[in-house]
Structure 1
Amino acid sequence: MRLGLTARGFGKCLAIGLLVLSTGTAAQSPSADEAKDERFDCMALAELETPETPRAWLERSLWANHCYTFQARAVRIGSDGVRSLALSHDVVEGVEREVARFLDGPPVVFERRGRIGRLSWSEDDSTPPASPAGVAEHLEGLYRLQLSGEERLANRNALRLDIEPLDGLRYGHRFWLDTATGLPLKQILLDEQGRVVETFQITQLHQPRLYQGSIDLDRHRPPPDDPWHPTWLPEGFMPKPVKTRSPRQGDDIGHRVYSDGLATLSLFVEPVTGTDQLIPGLHRLGVSHAAVRHRELGGQLRQVVVMGELPPGVLIRVADSVEWQDVASGDDTSP
């Protein structure tokens, strides 16, 4: 189904959702009053031996994404055509800054400043690990990891890492990792039938350098006290400890992010008011989909939107599973 173009409410959701999805498991921009709990010394990567297992290569790549500064040119091939991009990543006083700028088509720029994210919320004095440390272990129970030989990309030697889902509830990935740094030079996203959904490839990688210092880890964040929650998520999906409030969103829009470490979905809940709403159903958004439902939740008709690069049936099932619980009484008020 084609997206309804008159839905301004979805425009707000889409803008925030794309920003969160583009940052994956990354952390939030730090504010001045947030204490810096821990740091990761990037120079530790220079002392590590060459990885020998798929899991070790994956973890090395995740840390490399944080610790190498570089500029690059890349192409993205999806259902909406071919787009070229300029990419940059640097670290200033322990805080990362990433910029992705599309060079053709509509002028779009994504920018992120932040710390290395945690794997989950902090509950009951727990200390969740930084994302790279926990993600590699977490993914082994959800995907099959396999090394599949070497190739040459962007004038650099690359090792191919295949990540195949163990169920039909998420997409597969193929990564080509730079053998010198661990940085991903190419990524292919495969749907549940094994068809290529999107290809992203760096064509020029300019002088990647290991940051000579430490990067801040995000502070411990307690889980939010939302009255609504999904009662079903694919195995391995966890709520991400990220701030989702933004000036682009109204106070009446609830937004949470869930991920298994690779796949990510955004869930929005807002009141249905007026006529400026999305048509319930499934909408295509480039390589992503959005499932839209109008549900009676908390004594009011609300719009539920679930979007992400996942099989459409998964997004629909998550949207249909959302329930509302009165925080004060603990009573479930969903039908």
Structure 2
Amino acid sequence: MVVTSTALAQPEGDNSQPERFDCRTLEERASPETALEWLERSFWANHCYEFQARAVRIGVDGVRSLALSHDVVEGVEREVARFLDGPSVVFERRGRIGRLSWAEDDAPVASSPAGIAKHLDGLYRLQLSGEDRLANRTTLRLDIEPLDGMRYGHRFWLDSATSLPLKQILLDEQGRVVETFQITELHQPQLYLGEVDLDRRRARPQDPWHPAWLPTGFIPQPVETLSARHDEDVGHRVYSDGLATLSLFLEPVEGPDQLIPGMHRLGVSHAAVRHRELGGRTRQIVVMGELPPAVLLRVADSVEWQNDDEDEMP
């Protein structure tokens, strides 16, 4: 099975000249010194280095091995992840460097790597925790601890030569390891000697509904969420603080394929499901993400329809 994503790509017919980031400038920058500088550098490295790798992912569903590749073709990134055991699945993504938020009037909209690092500084405590050796390469460990109980913690092991993350650990609100992802072989990563396109500025869509509550720091993401698999009655929006992401789906309750209200476990993620009267119809709300279950439930319970007079806040 092949799954292809083209999120962040410009739609056909848009011939406007995109903004670009020149990856060659990374060679000219001084080596990072602070934890925040290392984190921002790793974000840029994820866009600018071409490589092939082998990796393992360890989660609640066991251990899976993968083959990974990342390259840039005419300014557009292409990522491929191929599972090497279990069901044959290939994930492929093509896209451009995303932006931090929707465009508002003529205000500037930062690209994700530049804006995210600054945004995260007020939500997490970042700390460098010494060197280690992974995949036969020297790495620097970066600990990222949430300043509240609304999100999970992270541990990154960054390649000292490229700043690519060679190992990532996700920690739940109790500090327990939820998932480990580690590159075991990294084959000759090369800096792309050219420019990578930034996504175009996107105007905020006018939805009749919105979540009245989100965890501090979560921003609506400027990504296309329309899908050929869903009709216009299915609403979908994405929110993120720069590391943690949640997806919110809203659709009428019709037919036999509805989910049971409550909390569902989906691998390392959870999904909160509610059936509520919104906009004159019974609608199913699904909030998914790698976040504490109580947070997902609170977001689902806060969804409001702009034409509803009744107060449905918890």
- TM-score normalised per structure 1: 0.90
Quote how far apart the aligned CAs of 1:108 are: 2.0
- Determine whether 1:73 maps to 2:51: no
- Determine whether 1:84 maps to 2:83: no
Equivalent residues of 1:36, 1:217 under 8 A apart: no
Q: Deviations over 1:244-289 (max 9, x none)?
A: 0111222221000000000000000000012221000000000000
2: CA distance, partners of 1:226 / 1:58:
34
What secondary structure, in the 3-state scheme, does the structure 2 residue paired with 1:127 have?
coil
What secondary structure, in the 3-state scheme, does the structure 2 residue paired with 1:226 have?
coil
Residue in 2 aligned with 1:33? 13
Residue in 2 aligned with 1:197? 178
Residue in 2 aligned with 1:244? 225
- TM-score normalised per structure 2: 0.95
Give the structure with the higher percent helix. 1
2: CA distance, partners of 1:248 / 1:210:
37
Equivalent residues of 1:324, 1:333 under 8 A apart: no
Q: 1:334 to 1:254 in 2, by over 3 A?
A: farther
Pairing partner for 2:280 from 283, 294, 299: 299
Identity of paired residues, percent?
76
2: CA distance, partners of 1:311 / 1:256:
19
What secondary structure, in the 3-state scheme, does the structure 2 residue paired with 1:117 have?
coil
- Determine whether 1:159 maps to 2:155: no
Unaligned runs of 5+ in 2: none
Equivalent residues of 2:9, 2:199 under 8 A apart: no
Tell me whether 277-286 or 99-108 shows the greater mean CA deviation: 99-108
What secondary structure, in the 3-state scheme, does the structure 1 residue paired with 2:114 have?
helix
Equivalent residues of 1:74, 1:84 under 8 A apart: yes
Q: Which amino acid aligns with 1:118?
A: R
Quote how far apart the aligned CAs of 1:36 are: 3.1
2: CA distance, partners of 1:47 / 1:37:
23
Equivalent residues of 1:228, 1:322 under 8 A apart: yes
Equivalent residues of 2:260, 2:273 under 8 A apart: yes
Q: Which amino acid aligns with 1:44?
A: T
Quote how far apart the aligned CAs of 1:53 are: 0.2
Residue in 2 aligned with 1:61? 42
2: CA distance, partners of 1:316 / 1:58:
30
1: CA distance, partners of 2:4 / 2:150:
23
Q: Which amino acid aligns with 1:130?
A: S
Equivalent residues of 1:72, 1:202 under 8 A apart: yes
1: CA distance, partners of 2:17 / 2:277:
42
Give the structure with the higher percent strand. 2
Higher-RCO chain (CA-CA 8 Å, sequence separation at least 6): 1
Q: Which amino acid aligns with 1:195?
A: R
2: CA distance, partners of 1:334 / 1:275:
29
1:1-335 → structure 2 map (5 Å cutoff): 28-34=8-14, 35-326=16-307, 332=309, 335=312
Q: Which amino acid aligns with 1:157?
A: T
Q: Deviations over 1:147-192 (max 9, x none)?
A: 0000000010100000000000000000000000000000000000
Equivalent residues of 2:76, 2:196 under 8 A apart: yes
Q: Which amino acid aligns with 2:13?
A: D
Tell me whether 30-39 or 141-150 shows the greater mean CA deviation: 30-39
Residue in 2 aligned with 1:6? none
Equivalent residues of 1:323, 1:332 under 8 A apart: no
Quote how far apart the aligned CAs of 1:140 are: 0.5
Residue in 2 aligned with 1:7? none
2: CA distance, partners of 1:202 / 1:36:
36
CA RMSD of aligned residues (A): 1.5
1: CA distance, partners of 2:4 / 2:302:
25
Quote how far apart the aligned CAs of 1:125 are: 1.3
Q: Which amino acid aligns with 1:290?
A: A
Q: 1:19 to 1:111 in 2, by over 3 A?
A: closer
1: CA distance, partners of 2:133 / 2:40:
21
Q: Which amino acid aligns with 2:234?
A: I
Q: Which amino acid aligns with 2:288?
A: M
Equivalent residues of 2:39, 2:117 under 8 A apart: yes
Equivalent residues of 2:52, 2:67 under 8 A apart: yes
Stretches of 4+ aligned residues off by more than 4 angstroms: 331-335
Q: Which amino acid aligns with 1:84?
A: S
Unaligned runs of 5+ in 1: 1-17
1: CA distance, partners of 2:281 / 2:236:
17
What secondary structure, in the 3-state scheme, does the structure 2 residue paired with 1:320 have?
helix
